Amino acid sequence: MTVRAIRGAITLEVDERSHLHERTKELVDAVMRENALTTDDVISAIFTVTPDLVSDFPAAAARDMGFGAVPLMCAQEIPVPGALPRVVRVMMHADMDVPRDEVVHVYLREAVALRRDLAQ
């Protein structure tokens, strides 16, 4: 197996815990589905949030999805003026038997603007 990194992002409408969990789960589900992964394939995941999201940790939502044994970390994005607001990003590391250019990166909702070249 080869370790691959998968990127993804999603936007939120509001900074509320339940909404953050809902959107984080939507993002993680899409990354897993589009790359045909199980939690056993995932080595680790790093979540970041824009500075305007403080209601909870995205990793808490992933743990609720069965990622309890996967090392998860959260961090805050750099507060760049004019950057897209209310964004949760993930970089997931997984064992995958695909070439790097076949990894499916997932950008959902308004986050498609972040990487139109990678958006699905």
Q: Which CATH number do you get for residue 104?
A: 3.30.1330.40
Cα torsion angle, 56, 63, 18, 34, sign = positive
Q: Is residue 89 part of a domain?
A: yes
**pLDDT tens per residue, range 57-106:** 999 999 999 999 999 999 999 999 999 999 999 999 999 999 999 999 99
Number of domains the chain contains: 1
Residue 120 lies in a domain: no
User: What is the structure's pLDDT at 1?
Assistant: 74
- Which of the residues 34, 109, 110, 115 is marked catalytic? 115
Catalytic hit among 26, 77, 109, 110: 77
95 inside domain: yes
Q: Which of 7, 26, 109, 110 is catalytic?
A: 7
Whether 115 is catalytic is yes
Question: Is the residue at 40 inside a domain?
Answer: yes
User: Is residue 119 included in any domain, yes or no?
Assistant: no
Active site residue 100: no
Cα gap 86→69, rounded to integer Å: 27
Q: For the residues 16-44, what does the mean pLDDT come to?
A: 98
The verdict on whether 74 is a catalytic residue reads: yes
Catalytic residue at 89? yes
| Structural domain harbouring 100 | 2-113
Q: Encoding tokens for residue 27?
A: 């993002």
Question: Is 56 within a domain?
Answer: yes
Q: Which of 49, 50, 48, 54 is nearest to 15 (CA)?
A: 54
pLDDT of residue 118: 59
Comparing 47-51, 56-60, 103-107, 116-120, which segment has the lowest mean pLDDT? 116-120
Flag whether 77 is in a domain: yes
pTM given for the model: 0.94
Q: What is the pLDDT of residue 116?
A: 63
One-letter amino acid at 119 equals: A
